[in-house]
A and B are shown apart, each in its own frame.
Chain A
Amino acid sequence: MQWTVILKKELTENWRNFKWIWVPIVFILISIMDPISTYYMPIIIESAGGLPEGTIIDIPMPNPSEAMMMSFSQLNIIGVLILTVISMGTISGEIKSGVYELVLAKPVKYTNYVTAKFFSYWLLMIVSLFLGLLASWYYINLLFGDLAFSQLIVAALFYACWLTLLIAIVILYNTWFKSPGLIAFLSIITVIILSVMTNIFSHVLGWSPAKITEYIAIYLHTGDLDTEIWFSSLIALLVSLSCLLFAIVSLRNKAID
């Protein structure tokens, strides 16, 4: 199978440059950092000193679902940044360095090339995300109170849809531009614009993928799944699919030029 060969090449490459080690570790660290530091905040403030004698420090402890959302919001910023940066050169870098021509000198299908690239980063994302959220869930149960494991899994699955969209966007830009920096910049800008537009036109864009995190917050708090989370996720997946299709088409057109 050609597809598995390319995938294997990608996985080996990402293993050799330690992406399979450092990305999961970083995801775990950013997921657990906020809940832990919130838990210890009263002690930290107390030992930092500078407060007059007898000051009462009364910071309300977040409930488990709020603590879980701290992890999600960290992932939403730093996680998104890291995913963008590690995948920004995956195709454009190969075009630049000439590896791309070497690969396509063989009868490699563009579809296989693009989807295998996408899948290798998708796999890395899924593994890192689940490890990060699992660690965060463990700490939240330890420090803040019970949160059902099934809730964590469901939330993680929906959140994965959002990150899937992100990777698909980065892959699409990879086939359009040569500079990895520009690709990362445009991907981030796209995500920011999407989030801002969704915030402004919140009442009309109920199905926007950028709202997935919001719906996850509601789900973790109440335990009920909004119908809209299904539509948001479905749209995220459909847009990802079309991004990949566009990526394949634009690579094919590039070859004709």
Chain B
Amino acid sequence: MEEGLTLIQENLAILAPLFILQLILMVIALIDLAKNDEPKGPKWVWTLVIIFINIVGPIVYFIAGKRR
């Protein structure tokens, strides 16, 4: 476990942009969901999907979560 932590610390410069981009994607999807008056399917399910499924969750929401 400790080994893993030091590994992450050593490679932070490489991995940080990855996490930041994922975070932005998630936040944007959540903002969009908050503004979305009638999403396809219940809001709380989308919230869970966006937060807990990395990358794919927000993408699926943006593609399938809205009524046109």
CB neighbours (8 Å) of B63 from chain A are 82, 85-86
Count of chain B residues with Cβ under 8 Å from any Cβ of A?
A: 23
* B4 and A26 within 8 A (CB): no
Q: How far is the CA of A17 from the CA of B32 in the complex (A)?
A: 7
CB closest residue in chain B, given A43: B7
> Which of A17, A25, A40 makes the CB contact (< 8 A) with B24?
A25
Q: How far is the CA of A97 from the CA of B68 in the complex (A)?
A: 8
CB neighbours (8 Å) of A126 from chain B are none
User: Could you tell me which residues of chain B, from 24 to 40, have a CB within 8 Å of some CB in chain A?
Assistant: 24-25, 28-29, 31-32
User: A22-B25, A22-B59, A25-B25 are contacts. A17–B14 as well, Cβ < 8 Å?
Assistant: no
* A26 and B68 within 8 A (CB): no
CB closest residue in chain B, given A23: B62
* Size bracket, chain A contacts: 20 to 34
User: A29-B18, A29-B22 are contacts. A22–B4 as well, Cβ < 8 Å?
Assistant: no
> Which of A18, A47, A93, A135 makes the CB contact (< 8 A) with B68?
A93
CB closest residue in chain A, given B1: A47
CB neighbours (8 Å) of A21 from chain B are 24, 28
Q: What is the CB-to-nearest-CB distance from A202 to chain B, in angstroms, rounded to a whole number?
A: 33
Q: How far is the CA of A111 from the CA of B11 in the complex (A)?
A: 52
CB neighbours (8 Å) of B21 from chain A are 25, 28-29
User: Could you tell me which residues of chain A, from 20 to 47, have a CB within 8 Å of some CB in chain B?
Assistant: 21-22, 25-26, 28-29, 32, 36, 40, 43, 47
CB closest residue in chain A, given B20: A25
**A37-73 contact mask (Cβ, 8 Å, vs B): 1 or 0:** 0001001000100000000000000000000000000
In the assembled complex, A89 has its CB within 8 A of some CB on chain B: yes
Q: What is the CB-to-nearest-CB distance from B31 to chain A, in angstroms, rounded to a whole number?
A: 8
In the assembled complex, B12 has its CB within 8 A of some CB on chain A: no
A–B complex contacts, Cβ < 8 Å, 16 sampled: A17-B32, A17-B66, A18-B62, A19-B62, A21-B28, A22-B25, A22-B59, A25-B25, A26-B59, A28-B21, A29-B21, A36-B18, A47-B7, A85-B63, A142-B14, A180-B68
18 extra interface residue pairs, beta carbon distance < 8 Å, beyond A28-B21, A36-B15, A139-B14: A17-B62, A17-B66, A18-B28, A19-B62, A22-B28, A22-B62, A25-B25, A25-B28, A26-B25, A29-B18, A29-B21, A29-B25, A29-B55, A32-B18, A36-B14, A97-B68, A143-B14, A180-B68
